[in-house]
């Protein structure tokens, strides 16, 4: 076991000292500064899971389909919507010149839900088989 003590300089409300315990023993392969930075990035994954399970469906994620193939399809639908929202956030952050992590996923969901009725109602286009 390897123990790494570090501080987050310049971060308001940061703890005075952080301690990271790891099984990555070789400092040449896994430098302490890299591990400390990556540890904090790890929490972004946890936040993404929360976005997907709670923020996107509006409450706890519950698949409504009763068959496995339809539940899988529903899950892929949620994943595609999450990807589309994250792409919107990325585009907005580039336009604003800021880090995408500073923009709220929940706020983005609310904006899209508010505007969705204006774009969801459209007439299907005529196909060759209709003619």
Q: Indicate whether 68 and 110 sit together in one domain.
A: yes
State residue 62's pLDDT score.
78
List the structure tokens of 37.
């930075």
Q: What is the pLDDT of residues 76-117, one digit of tens each?
A: 998 999 999 999 999 999 999 999 988 999 999 999 989 887
CA 25 from chain centre, in angstroms, equals 30
Q: Indicate whether 105 and 72 sit together in one domain.
A: yes
State residue 127's pLDDT score.
60
* For residue 122, pLDDT beyond 90: no
Those residues whose C-beta lies under 8 Å from the C-beta of residue 25, and which sit 6 or more positions away, are 1, 2
In a domain, 79, yes or no: yes
Q: Indicate whether 67 and 28 sit together in one domain.
A: no
- The number of domains in the chain is 2
Exposed, middle or buried: residue 76 (CB in 10 Å: 0-12, 13-18, 19+)? exposed
In a domain, 58, yes or no: no
pTM over 0.85: no
């Amino acid at each position: 076991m390897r123990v790494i003590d570090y501080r987050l300089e310049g971060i308001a409300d940061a703890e005075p000292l952080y301690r990271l315990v790891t099984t990555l023993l070789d400092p040449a392969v896994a430098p302490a500064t890299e591990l400390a930075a990556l540890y904090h990035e790890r929490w972004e994954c946890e936040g993404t899971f929360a976005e997907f399970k709670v923020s996107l469906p509006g409450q706890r994620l519950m698949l409504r389909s009763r068959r496995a193939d339809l539940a899988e399809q529903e899950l892929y639908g949620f994943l595609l919507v999450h990807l589309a929202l994250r792409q919107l956030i990325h585009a907005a952050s580039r336009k604003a010149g800021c880090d995408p992590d500073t923009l709220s996923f929940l706020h983005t969901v609310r904006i899209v839900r508010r505007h969705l009725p204006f774009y969801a109602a459209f007439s299907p286009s005529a196909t060759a088989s209709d003619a």
